[in-house]
Structure 1
Amino acid sequence: MNSDTPVADQTDHPGEPIAVVAAGAIPWRIVNGHLEVLLIHRPRYDDFSWPKGKLDAGETVPECAVREVREEIGLQAGLGIPLPPIHYHVNAGLKVVHYWAVKVNGAPLRPDGKEVDSVMWCTPDRAAKYLSNPSDIEPLEYLEKAYVRGELDTWPLVLIRHAKAKPRSSWTKAEGDRPLAATGQRQAAAVRRLLEAWWPQRVVTSPWLRCVATIAPYAKASGAKVKLSEALTEHHHQRSPKKTAAAVEALFDKQVPIAVCTHRPALPTALKQLGRHMLPELRALLPTSDPFLSPGEVIVCQVARGAERKIVSVEQIRPFDD
């Protein structure tokens, strides 16, 4: 997935252009050992659905999902596992809505009153009966199956390739001091906005300037704890890929939302290490050819909570490119 508007849907409506792109989430919680999901009621349509809305100019699909959840029900929460998108026709043409699961940890919900006048927690079975759009049942069923498998309660691990740096050919000083280009500085601002969809509490980065400058806007805005790791630099990776792999493996230790920023030459090692924690069908989604990720692009892995260090979803997302 990236920030570009999809050109056509190749699933239920093969070849038909997508006219409207929207995003949202299914909020969920566990009460007395039972799964509950949150339905919203929209007075304008007198219907029950999930929090969602159309993309604003200059934002990615994940950013849209987080914003819509915040605006419609007053919940500021990071995205969990991606859910199947739905497709249906509106006056403008074919509409696609991308969904994520969002865990609600007792935070108060404040419906905005205009778009949403009430909310209702209920079991998935009851929610399916209330939903006004039958298409909304598919992501609900996926969420419930993930819960049964123990793959709904997750934390995000985000792999970032640093933003575009000044060319090596025009830089005569130490390689670790090579800064971001002007384009890279704009990408770093876009990375900040994108990372706010998952709110990693910790950031581990190569200490080289172009990596630090890539995550600096997010770290400053979020207050995330930043750790510098020499094992993530190009030079250390060239000398000892095993230490780079060990640094990636250590990201699993605390089981908290975390982001890691490194260089293109280190990406194959990082991706291979992450792949060790995935089933083959997920591993097949990882990029396999150089350059693996574009400058500023991210891989988002959702890791199931528990001792197994099991990655249960993979997304590849490019920040909005102006």
Structure 2
Amino acid sequence: MSVPATVIAAGGVVWRERRGTRQVLLVHRPRYDDWSLPKGKLYPHEHVLLCARREIEEETGLRVVFGPPLGVQRYEVRKNGGTAPKLVHYWSAQPVDGTAFEPNDEVDGITWFPVDEAREKLSYPRDLDILDRLDRVLPVVATVVVLRHAQAVKRKDWDGKDTLRPLSSSGMDVAQRLASVLEALGVDRLISSDAERCVATVTPYGALIDRHIHLWPEISERGYEADPDGIRGLAERVWKPGRVTVICSHRPVLPALTRELGLKVGKFATGALLVAHRLADGRIVQERFHSP
């Protein structure tokens, strides 16, 4: 007997501050007559962050940017006459734009509640666990997104200078999709190696938000090989209070770069990213994402 496939979903705790009081947004679903956190299922091949953003917008009318992760729910749901495991990812989310909410068959009402009232209103204990984690990851002082460039043309297929080696066609597609992921994270500052494959990876997002890309030769392969100590002291320049900074570099450079930034070192596939949030108490909350 085959095991049912896990249902993957994503959502967020959407919050705001009003007159010194933190409020969170809950949705009412008429089908279940419950109050819950906005969430929904992934489309095939959809990036989990983009799913969370799409579902929140569909259910509330609000576009959000994501902060630190708030954990994962695991429970059973009915599926095809039986049950299947469900996995729901949640993030802290703040509204940045939106339209007037329109009730529909799935969600017929949304309401902002002070956190204490939201705890009383939520219908499921599992949602309380996620809500209670919000306090543990706020406030965020600064955010850094460490990114390996998307797939480039292979070295053996390129006759020019390595620093000019461009992205492959699939790499260009990834760069376009990355723009939506970086937008969901609220990135507002762009740093890149001066190599073409790195610059091209963040160019679509730079064009989307009309921001200049700061080129740092010291985080290129060539620059790092010439002077491995050149990355020392970069952390202070990267971690900017109140900013969400993406820094795009290369596989040979990333271990030393992540150490310099005070982050856990790990392997990066092309187009993969590490998102790190520095909290007011000095802790760093980080998570990894595969290439979109």
Structure 1, gaps ≥5 residues long: 1-15
1:272 deviates by 0.1
Partner of 1:162: 149
- Does residue 270 of structure 1 match 2:257? yes
- Does residue 318 of structure 1 match 2:285? no
- Does residue 299 of structure 1 match 2:274? yes
- Assess if the C-alpha contact under 8 Å between 1:194 and 1:319 holds in 2: no
Instruction: Find the aligned partners of 1:145 and 1:182 in 2 and give their Cα distance.
Output: 42
Q: Which amino acid aligns with 1:318?
A: H
1:153 deviates by 3.5
Specify which of 96, 103, 113 is matched with residue 94 of structure 2.
103
Alignment of 1:107-118 (within 5 A): 110-114=100-104, 115-118=106-109
- Does residue 72 of structure 1 match 2:59? yes
Instruction: Find the aligned partners of 2:32 and 2:240 in 1 and give their Cα distance.
Output: 46
Q: Which amino acid aligns with 1:37?
A: V
- Assess if the C-alpha contact under 8 Å between 1:43 and 1:117 holds in 2: yes
* Paired-residue identity, %: 33
Question: TM-score if structure 1 supplies the norm length?
Answer: 0.81
Instruction: Find the aligned partners of 2:270 and 2:169 in 1 and give their Cα distance.
Output: 13
- Does residue 182 of structure 1 match 2:169? yes
Partner of 1:145: 136
- Does residue 19 of structure 1 match 2:9? no
Instruction: Find the aligned partners of 1:245 and 1:314 in 2 and give their Cα distance.
Output: 21
Partner of 2:116: 125
- Does residue 89 of structure 1 match 2:76? yes
After superposition, the Cα gap between the structure-2 partners of 1:48 and 1:109, relative to the gap in structure 1 and judged at 3 Å, is farther
Structure 1 runs (4+) greater than 4 angstroms displaced = none
Q: Which protein is richer in strand relative to its size?
A: 2
Alignment of 1:186-197 (within 5 A): 186-197=173-184
Specify which of 205, 209, 214 is matched with residue 218 of structure 1.
205
Aligned length: 285
Instruction: Find the aligned partners of 2:142 and 2:32 in 1 and give their Cα distance.
Output: 34
Partner of 1:11: none
- Does residue 198 of structure 1 match 2:185? yes
Instruction: Find the aligned partners of 2:140 and 2:164 in 1 and give their Cα distance.
Output: 40
1:140 deviates by 0.8
The SS at the match of 1:65 is helix
- Assess if the C-alpha contact under 8 Å between 1:27 and 1:38 holds in 2: yes
- Assess if the C-alpha contact under 8 Å between 1:249 and 1:273 holds in 2: no
Structure 2, gaps ≥5 residues long: none
